């Protein structure tokens, strides 16, 4: 198919929306949304469904040692594939689009090409990565981290989940410990479509987010140990109140974000007091602290100021505090050539665009370690995500999927064998001209 016709190719938006809804029904929640925590039975059912769609399309499907699944459409030539993908595991209050859009839009791109009889120069691949959310097994982006060699598969197998399950055992239980070795094959380039999950695009009435990078992420578990005692008879100055210390730490996290200013964010998402009884001063408190910033230096400042607060409170309240890192990823800048291509493609297709960093972590954050990578955002209604009310308008889903299609097509057809030439190609190829 001549290049000029390739630029006219568009996805079948109805098929995409149907698949989003069909996958979303697995682990479906009352009132909408879905819960498919990593490596649960619901995750397995979602995996089985997406795997069936990949196989029905005739993709060459591989499951790797950490359960990442990649389907590849052969190219006219062998060599490194142009790759897209995301995740299909969700948080417990998940929506239908977080991660799922990126996987199903990638599948839709390959189906559009296959149905049009298009064989691109380079192979095209779509994948989903295990445990992107990290909500059950930390860290987040675990599967893509193993894919790029940032964590050994053996260490990943030993990760213990918030429910006490062991990752490797759960992977075996659902039958997704595959034979393909990790680290995975390095793609020629990786582009991920994702909902923004925040309010920026909607507030600005912009259709496509051209994602320039991802902010740094610091997750830690904090365990405060005090002493249980009687709530009625223990004078305040004699208490070793783990619950009070935990709540002071939570307040500190909130105030620290305010002091450091945007885009610093801080969240205490989990808090567990023991013995968790109305008339007992808490003996222990276990909580999580999530700190993020686009600046590594400011994120480090947030971390040491939090540590200093822990030390002060431990001394003042006669408690001990242990902190355990659950995830720590530095901010990532995406490849400017791919970012430029996403922007040029989105504009060529008539979209309004805005360059922006990602507040959420994504698998692209890991893929950027090994190949030229960028992301495409579409608006989230009300800026809501990790919430069953997560929603993106069908027209925005379609626009994002078409930007993904045309961006991947350009990458799969560019004559550049190495990225030094790609600059040259990006200006001369038919995609950039029109
Ligand atoms: O935590 C995150 O940013 C992502 O949802 N895993
Ligand atoms: Mn996601
Ligand atoms: Mn998420």
pLDDT of residue 306: 98
Question: Which two structure tokens, joined as six digits, stand for 340?
Answer: 């430029």
pLDDT at 259 > cutoff 50 = yes
Q: What is the pLDDT of residue 427?
A: 40
* Across 114-118, average pLDDT: 96
* Burial grade of 76 (CB within 10 A; 0-12, 13-18, 19 or more): exposed
Asked if 194 and 88 touch (Cβ cutoff 8 Å), the reply is no
Over the range 284-303, which residues count as b (16 or more CB within 10 Å of their CB) and which as e? bbbbbbbbbbbeeebbebbb
Chain centroid to CA 138: 13
Find the 102 Cα to ligand 2 centroid distance in Å.
9
Q: Among 223-227, 254-258, 424-428, whose mean pLDDT is lowest?
A: 424-428
Q: How confident is the model at residue 351 (pLDDT cuts 50, 70, 90)?
A: very high
Position 432 pLDDT exceeds 70: no
Mutational pocket test of ligand 1: of 37, 329, 362, 377, the residue with most ligand atoms within 8 Å of the beta carbon: 362
Ligand 1 neighbours, Cβ below 6 Å, are 132-134, 140, 360-361
pLDDT, average across residues 368-397? 98
What confidence score (pLDDT) does residue 2 get? 66
Cβ neighbour number for residue 232 with a 10 Å cutoff: 6
194 C-alpha to center of ligand 2: Å? 7
pLDDT at 3: 61
Please name which of 92, 102, 101, 225 lies closest in space to residue 161, comparing C-alpha atoms: 92
Residue with CA closest to ligand 1 atom 6: 133
Find out whether 191 and 374 touch, Cβ atoms under 8 Å: yes
pLDDT at residue 268 above 60? yes
Q: Are 306 and 367 in contact (CB under 8 A)?
A: no
Distance CA 47, CA 52 (A): 8
Mean pLDDT of 284-292: 98
Residues 316-328: pLDDT tens digits?
999 999 999 999 9
* Residue with CA nearest ligand 1 atom 4: 361
**What's residue 4's pLDDT?**
61
Kindly indicate the confidence band of residue 416, based on its pLDDT and cuts at 50, 70 and 90: low
Angle (nearest 5°) at CA 393 between 388 and 398: 125
What is the model's pLDDT at position 433?
33
Q: Report the run of H or E that residue 412 belongs to, with start and end.
A: helix 394-413
Query: 98: CA distance to ligand 2 center in Å?
Result: 5
pLDDT at 423 over 60: no
**Residues 297-341: pLDDT tens digits?**
999 999 999 999 999 999 999 999 999 999 999 999 999 999 999
- Give the model confidence (pLDDT) of 46-103 as tens digits: 999 999 999 999 999 999 999 999 999 999 999 999 999 999 999 999 999 999 999 9
Whole-number Å distance, alpha carbon 19 to ligand 2 midpoint, is 17
Q: What are phi and psi of 274, to 5 degrees?
A: -130, 140
* Domains identified in the chain and CATH numbers: 3-214+332-425 (3.40.630.10), 216-329 (3.30.70.360)
């Amino acid at each position: 198919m001549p290049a000029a016709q390739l630029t006219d190719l568009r996805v079948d938006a109805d098929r995409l929306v149907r698949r989003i809804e069909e996958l979303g029904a697995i682990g479906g929640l009352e009132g909408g949304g879905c819960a498919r925590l990593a490596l649960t039975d619901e995750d397995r059912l979602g995996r089985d469904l997406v795997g069936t769609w990949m196989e029905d399309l005739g993709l060459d499907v591989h499951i790797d040692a950490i359960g990442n699944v990649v389907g590849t459409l052969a190219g006219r030539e062998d060599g490194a594939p142009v790759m897209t993908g995301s995740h299909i595991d969700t948080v417990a209050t998940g929506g239908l689009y977080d991660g799922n859009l990126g996987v199903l839009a990638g599948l839709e791109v390959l189906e559009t090409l296959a149905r049009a009889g298009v064989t691109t120069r380079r192979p095209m691949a779509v994948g989903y990565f295990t445990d992107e959310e990290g909500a059950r097994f930390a860290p987040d982006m675990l599967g893509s981290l193993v894919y790029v060699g940032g964590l050994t598969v053996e260490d990943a197998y030993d990760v213990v989940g918030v429910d006490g399950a062991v990752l490797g055992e759960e992977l075996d239980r659902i039958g997704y410990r595959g034979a393909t070795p990790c680290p995975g094959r390095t793609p020629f380039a990786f582009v991920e479509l994702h909902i923004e999950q925040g309010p920026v695009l909607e507030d600005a009435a912009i259709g496509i987010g051209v994602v320039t990078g991802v902010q740094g992420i610091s997750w830690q578990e904090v365990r405060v140990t005090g002493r249980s005692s009687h709530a009625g008879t223990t004078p305040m100055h004699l208490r070793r109140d783990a619950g009070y210390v935990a709540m002071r730490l939570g307040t500190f996290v909130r105030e620290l974000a305010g002091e450091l200013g945007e885009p610093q964010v801080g969240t205490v998402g989990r808090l567990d007091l023991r013995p968790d009884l109305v008339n007992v001063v808490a003996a222990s408190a276990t909580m999580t602290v999530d700190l993020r910033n686009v600046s590594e230096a400011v994120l480090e400042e947030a971390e040491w100021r939090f540590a200093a607060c822990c030390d002060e409170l431990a001394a003042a309240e006669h408690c001990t505090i242990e902190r355990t890192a659950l995830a720590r990823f530095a901010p990532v800048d995406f490849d400017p050539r791919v970012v430029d291509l996403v922007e040029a493609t989105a504009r060529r297709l008539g979209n309004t665009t805005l360059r922006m960093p990602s507040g959420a972590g994504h698998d692209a954050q890991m893929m950027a370690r090994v190949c030229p990578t960028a992301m495409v955002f579409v608006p989230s209604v009300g800026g809501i995500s990790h919430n069953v009310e997560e929603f993106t308008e069908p027209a925005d889903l379609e626009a994002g999927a078409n930007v993904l299609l045309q961006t991947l097509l350009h990458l799969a057809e560019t004559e550049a064998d190495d990225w030094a030439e790609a600059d040259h190609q990006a200006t001369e190829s038919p995609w950039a001209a029109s």
